[in-house]
Structure 1
């Protein structure tokens, strides 16, 4: 009975490790923010905040988000920034559905994440529901070339 229990524990640990590897390998590639889907994640109270922006302000916000690039390399390095501008870089790992980023510039960030499917990831970037931030979550889409 002890051997059966130990085998079950080892099998569970092995499968969990493979799940983390599968999640990690699914993240390899270039990702962009899907603005429309991200906007759909905004709560109704926050939509009032978005709706009060001028048309130009909404357009600028959309351009800023659409220009974001997240590149996750198989060697656990990443680049993050706007298209054609300075990127931030560092190392990444997925642990317990948390995307952990260690920036070479010195910061460490953790984001709860959920794979929606093979080409979409939902990142929670602001966990505090009382935060004044407009976007608490981003929906990232994998670029087709990956």
Structure 2
């Protein structure tokens, strides 16, 4: 006996689509939760978050110092405050959003996210972080300090 063909949902026609989309949405949920927490619990108020160990032991600002204050300012809509607290982290939030969007599109198409950067790019990123760290710890670079 021939039964009518049920076309079902779009998700059923592409095997594994739910599996492919699960990871990017899981990461988005985790990042959203973290940003929601930092947006709610102000890192500018003492006692909520641990102090950077490098800063506490040496007095030197690491590239991540001010990142929580930057995230708090970013999530509350203060882009200037976010850049002032940690410019590198703020750029990182925007880059993360772009890579996540690319990941989602590729997952929807059933393709893996593969971003292969040449070693020169990684060295460049390391150099930028090193220069940022050194400059923000010098008197003339105090504008980059949180």
Q: Same fold (TM over 0.5)?
A: no
- Greater strand content: 1
Bigger radius of gyration: 2
- Greater helix content: 2
TM norm structure 2: 0.31
